[in-house]
Amino acid sequence: MRELLEVKGLTKIYSLGSIFSRIKITAVEDVNFEVMQPEIFTLAGESGCGKTTTAKIILGFEEQTSGMVFYRGKPINELRKKDKIQMLREIQAVFQNPFSTFNPLRTVDSYFYETLLNLKIVSSKKEAEKKIEEKLAAVGISFEEFTQRYPNEFSGGQLQRLSIARALLTDPSLIVADEPVSMVDASLRMSIVNLFKDLKEKYSVSVIYITHDLTTAYYVSDRIAIMFRGNIVEMGPAEEVLSNPKHPYTQLLRESVPEPDPEKRWGTKVVLADTEHEEYLRIGCKFAGRCPSAMEKCKKNNPPYFKVNDVLVKCFLYK
């Protein structure tokens, strides 16, 4: 396996509030990880931990305050400037709400033809149809049931499969999937995350899977990073992290995780709850206020990472 993407020292600081009461929050703080090819790498954590901000920076929708993202060893920002079309082909996104991915007034197939033509992937309608048929087959939808239909003629699950098929049109190496199943019927979730496994095995596609749902994460991920208030607090093989969690936050997360708020995602209106605000501003471990094992030093010092077997844990308990 080769390294596909590397995130190094990634930090994003947002300013919130009015000019009279400005506060700064570090939504992503010195985040480091790499994604191999092929691999399903999961970023998990409760709402507001910095998963989406990390995804937005990788996808180029947001600029980092500091740190770098490397794609195949090269800084992604420079590649984006130099070879935009190639980057658009190589890294694709799948979002939470498939109904907002497609305009209700346009047929879904029109998006597919548009992507193929705009990115100059095909040169004729016949070639386009062949490509579309192949990608639909990969997500289990037939060409006939797809042609000339509007988004409201599909179920949420079918539409999410179609957004994955559309992402596949460019033969990407990396798919960044942000909560792709949280708006899909619980009974269909597994079948959609299974698709990611298939894509990894059949086409060597790597996936950054962003989720609050540890059940699907456990099932699909090779490695997982658990985030809390902008920090990765634990990272390692998914099986090990989720069946034997070390960080007190990962242990808590396994018990209950609040659902993400669809209204808040990818929007710009941001209101911080008091505890959230206080946790972001903590000098020591951001989890210390809620941690049942917190020690005096946790409140004063930011813990470094400790290695426990294959797992990195940002917690003084493992010193």
Ligand X SMILES: Nc1ncnc2c1ncn2[C@@H]1O[C@H](COP(=O)(O)OP(=O)(O)OP(=O)(O)O)[C@@H](O)[C@H]1O
The least CB distance from residue 270 to ligand X, in Å, is 4
In the complex with ligand X, which residue's Cβ is closer, 157 or 260?
Answer: 260
Beta bridge partners of 37: 2
In the complex with ligand X, which residue's Cβ is closer, 16 or 317?
Answer: 16
DSSP assignments along the chain, one per residue: -EEEEEEEEEEEEEEES-SSS-EEEEEEEEEEEEEEES-EEEEE-STTSSHHHHHHHHHTSS--SEEEEEETTEEHHHHHHH-HHHHHHHEEEE-S-HHHHS-TTS-HHHHHHHHHHHTT--SSHHHHHHHHHHHHHHHT--HHHHTT--GGGS-HHHHHHHHHHHHHTT--SEEEEESTTTTS-HHHHHHHHHHHHHHHHHH--EEEEEES-HHHHHHH-SEEEEEETTEEEEEEEHHHHHHS--SHHHHHHHH--PPP-TTTTT-S-----HHHHHHHH-SS-TTGGG-TT--HHHHHS----EEETTEEE--GGG-
Decide if residue 53 touches ligand X (CB under 6 A).
Answer: yes
In the complex with ligand X, which residue's Cβ is closer, 27 or 79?
Answer: 27
Decide if residue 23 touches ligand X (CB under 6 A).
Answer: no
Site for ligand X in 246-275 (CB under 6 A): 260-261, 264-265, 268, 270, 272
Residue choice 38, 50, 151, 172 for contact with ligand X (CB under 6 A) = 50
In the complex with ligand X, which residue's Cβ is closer, 80 or 264?
Answer: 264
Decide if residue 47 touches ligand X (CB under 6 A).
Answer: yes
Decide if residue 302 touches ligand X (CB under 6 A).
Answer: no
Residue choice 10, 51, 146, 158 for contact with ligand X (CB under 6 A) = 51
Decide if residue 65 touches ligand X (CB under 6 A).
Answer: no
Taking the mean position of all CA atoms in its chain, how far away is CA 26?
18
The least CB distance from residue 52 to ligand X, in Å, is 3
Residue choice 42, 52, 92, 250 for contact with ligand X (CB under 6 A) = 52
The least CB distance from residue 1 to ligand X, in Å, is 27
Residue choice 4, 7, 49, 225 for contact with ligand X (CB under 6 A) = 49
Decide if residue 236 touches ligand X (CB under 6 A).
Answer: no
The least CB distance from residue 247 to ligand X, in Å, is 16
Q: At what angle do helices 156-168 and 125-139 cross, to 10 degrees?
A: 130
The site that binds ligand X (CB under 6 A) totals a number of residues, namely 20
In the complex with ligand X, which residue's Cβ is closer, 173 or 182?
Answer: 182
Residues lying near ligand X in the complex (CB under 6 A) are found at 14, 16, 25, 27, 45, 47-53, 260-261, 264-265, 268, 270, 272, 276
